[in-house]
Amino acid sequence: MQNWYTLSIAALLLMGTQRFLYKVAAERKCSNPHTTFFFMATVAVLSSSMFLLSGQTVSNPRFLLFIALLNSAAFLAGTLSHIEALKHIPATVAYPIIRFNIVIVILFSIIFLHDRPSLYQLAGILAALSVMIILSQDYELRQQSFQDKRSGYLLVATCVCSGAIASISCKFAAILTSDLGFMALSYFFSSIGAYILTKRSTPAISPQNKRDAFIIGVFMGFINFAGFYLFLQALSMGPLSIIVSITGMHFIIAALLSVLVYHEHLTPFRIAALTLTVASIILLRL
């Protein structure tokens, strides 16, 4: 078995666990900016320490600065919109739709990186697109207010676009610069952005809320550090389209944990959407 495939599976498991913690933060009504700040600051500290200890060097500091800024802006926007979206729509609905960023990445790989998708991969793209149609028929979701649905879907759309930009920038960083240096700078910039948001958040949060945000954020940081590092290692060895397709299954772990822990309902529409999403990812790998 190829190393990049094994690394991708390991990253998948860690990313899925981290995404479930987004749901935990939303359920405990943690401050979105505070949770994000503690999460990103933890990764920044860990990756900076590892970069200094590893002795890695950077041959092109300007490129590293640019790609880290791009990634941090996209990842910060995606994280904030992801947590906020879970306050408006169920995780079993949000996670499959958020996975649509894989389709954008696949198309980018075809057009700009000259990937040649097989018929199976094209079928996978069509299957992924049909998930949105299935979920739009979800009865329970139709019972929510129009305002709530609209807010949730706008946040999910932001997350989809941001996730695609973040994944594409990771590929270039993985093959062209220091992986740990990239992580350190990217999360440092994201931490600054999240910290600014904490100062602007109103109303002031309670000590209990801030403590919950700190604990969940730090756990997120440790898990994300390991998962993201393995993801970058895989990207340095293998194809972007397939690796992103594998790691894109992380939402399944998060959604199933949400069902087990928070007893979210798995309606027939959601089961069909989850099944079809898994099928699309499998097809995209062939």
Report the interhelical angle of 207-235 vs 240-247 (nearest 10°).
150
The mean-pLDDT minimum among 59-73, 209-223, 268-282 falls in 268-282
Cα(259)–Cα(269) distance, rounded to whole angstroms?
15
Q: Is 132 strand, coil or helix?
A: helix
| pLDDT 10s digits, 68-82 | 999 999 988 887 787
Residue 111 CA, chain-centre distance (Å), reads 23
| pLDDT 10s digits, 20-56 | 998 888 888 888 788 889 998 999 999 999 999 998 8
At residue 1, does pLDDT exceed 50? no
285: Cβ–Cβ under 8 A, 6 or more apart, which residues? Answer: 124, 242, 245, 246
Band the pLDDT of 177: cuts 50, 70, 90. Answer: very high
Taking residues 84-93, what's their average pLDDT? 74
**Average pLDDT of the chain to the nearest whole number:** 83
Cis peptide before 203 (omega within 30 of 0): yes
